[in-house]
């Protein structure tokens, strides 16, 4: 009879094992399982060891060693072998589920940015004999099929808005460690929903790599792009001009402000920043242009280099104002990607150095799949009403001067 004050025998044994002698129960359990296997083989072949019997239908043929991972740790089992046929103990069948569970743990750890060495340490801390790096990496590669399918999927519908950005994880290649460009494309479809459109890893963030990346997106079905947001990387700008013909390019306002303020003495940066922000506080594009010219005239004498940058970037930093006002906050910079990039950096920093490009694709790809799923079930990024303004013939038109391709 069970009572609240009485522990079961199993609980007492478990408590004893944890607090006293874990090896004792491991040895006892090993002995018990080996005895059960011998009994099972005896029943199967119809005779005990060395027994002469008319019911015998097979003979033992030694033992094979096998490790079995349990909550108590890794047990060393001696599984009987048969002269004819094979034998696998029925009591070990549940291990298939434990292997699946362990596989899931390793995959989850890898997806969350835990290095292969640390995954191995995690497995050992569970009382299971350590897995070497090749085993952990091998298990992690089972994610590749899902990632490849997601990365190469067909893009359906139109994506009026597109954000492009890059981070730089460290990857070992050709016997040396180098920073590689991890590029990501995020789009908003006609329904106002965000979607991860593509990602890739390359040796450098040059124009050829960006052009190849964008052409792959187009080949997979990317179309209807009206507006592209990125930083002012010349190679990227050139690739956008070649591949996304007719789209409007917006220079990331956040990156632009950093560039301008780098030409201003630190003690004056706060003041200059406040004055420049009055440009973006205007209610329409034309008013913003007038304010920009006024700011340039006012500050040119004190900060000539900064004002030269501001004047030259007029069309690029105000392009977003030709689009629906409801979208201004999200489309004037690559900030919508910043949270995503921070999470990518957090996980890649744990790994420190990736063994190859495939490892980067595997980790980042799995993370982006999860993020994409969250966006699909979450709220719309832009309302349907505001998205309709992009397709209304007379309700919305692009300012000709803001078009990147004429």
**Tokens at 138, concatenated:** 């091998």
Percent residues over pLDDT 70 in the chain: 77
* SS3 label, residue 174: coil
Q: Is the pLDDT of residue 60 over 70?
A: yes
**Tokens at 147, concatenated:** 């990632």
Can you give the pTM of this predicted structure?
A: 0.68
Q: What is the pLDDT of residue 267?
A: 94
* SS3 label, residue 68: strand
The rounded distance, in Å, linking the Cα atoms of 180 and 173 is 10
* SS3 label, residue 55: coil
Q: Please return the burial class of 105, using the count of CB atoms within 10 Å of its CB with bins 0-12, 13-18 and 19+.
A: middle
Q: Is the pLDDT of residue 344 over 50?
A: yes
Contacts of 315 (CB under 8 A, 6+ apart): 401, 402
Q: Is the pLDDT of residue 219 over 80?
A: yes
Taking CB atoms within 8 Å and a gap of at least 24, the contacts of 367-375 are: 367/111, 367/343, 368/150, 368/184, 368/196, 368/199, 368/340, 369/146, 369/147, 369/150, 369/196, 370/111, 371/196, 371/340, 371/343, 372/150, 372/195, 372/196, 375/193, 375/194, 375/195, 375/196
**Tokens at 308, concatenated:** 């030269």
Q: Helices (DSSP H) in 152-189: which residue ranges?
A: none
**Tokens at 102, concatenated:** 């362990």
Q: Which residue has the tokens 């944890």?
A: 18
The rounded distance, in Å, linking the Cα atoms of 353 and 359 is 10
Q: What is the pLDDT of residue 336?
A: 84
Lowest model confidence (mean pLDDT) among 17-21, 31-35, 47-51, 133-137:
17-21
The rounded distance, in Å, linking the Cα atoms of 203 and 245 is 26
């Amino acid at each position: 009879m069970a009572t609240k004050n009485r522990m079961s025998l199993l609980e007492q044994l478990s408590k004893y094992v944890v607090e006293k002698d874990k090896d004792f129960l491991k040895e006892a359990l090993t002995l018990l399982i080996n005895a059960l296997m011998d009994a099972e083989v005896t029943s199967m072949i119809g005779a005990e060891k060395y027994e002469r019997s008319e019911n015998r239908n097979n003979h033992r043929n030694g033992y094979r060693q096998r490790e079995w991972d349990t909550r108590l740790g890794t047990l060393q089992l001696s599984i009987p072998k048969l002269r004819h046929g094979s034998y696998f103990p029925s009591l070990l069948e549940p291990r298939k589920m434990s292997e699946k569970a362990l596989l899931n743990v390793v995959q989850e750890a890898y997806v969350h940015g835990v290095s292969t060495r640390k995954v191995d340490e995690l497995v050992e801390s569970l009382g299971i004999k350590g897995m070497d790096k090749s085993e952990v990496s091998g298990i992690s590669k089972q994610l590749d099929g899902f990632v490849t399918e997601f990365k190469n999927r067909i893009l359906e519908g139109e994506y009026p808005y597109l954000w492009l950005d890059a981070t730089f994880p460290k990857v070992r290649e050709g016997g040396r460690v180098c920073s590689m460009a991890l590029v990501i494309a995020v789009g908003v479809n006609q329904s106002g929903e965000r979607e991860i459109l593509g990602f890739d890893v390359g040796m450098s963030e040059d124009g050829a790599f960006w052009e190849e990346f964008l052409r792959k997106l187009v080949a997979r079905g990317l179309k209807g792009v009206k507006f592209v947001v990125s930083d002012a990387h010349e190679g990227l700008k050139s690739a956008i001009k070649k591949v996304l013909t007719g789209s409007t390019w917006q220079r990331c306002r956040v990156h632009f402000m950093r560039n301008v303020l780098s030409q201003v003495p630190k003690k004056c940066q706060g003041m200059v920043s406040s004055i420049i922000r009055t440009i973006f506080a205007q209610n329409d594009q034309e008013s913003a242009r007038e304010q920009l010219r006024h700011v340039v005239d006012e500050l040119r004498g004190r900060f000539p280099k900064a004002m030269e940058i501001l004047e030259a970037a007029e069309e690029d930093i105000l392009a977003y104002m030709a689009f629906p006002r409801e979208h201004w906050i999200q489309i004037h910079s690559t900030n919508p990607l910043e949270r995503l990039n921070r999470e990518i950096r957090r996980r890649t920093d744990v790994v420190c150095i990736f063994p190859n490009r495939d490892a980067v694709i595997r980790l980042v790809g799995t993370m982006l799949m999860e993020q994409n799923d969250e966006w699909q079930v979450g709220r719309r990024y832009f309302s349907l009403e505001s998205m309709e303004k992009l397709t209304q013939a007379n309700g919305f038109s692009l300012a000709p001067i803001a078009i990147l391709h004429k």
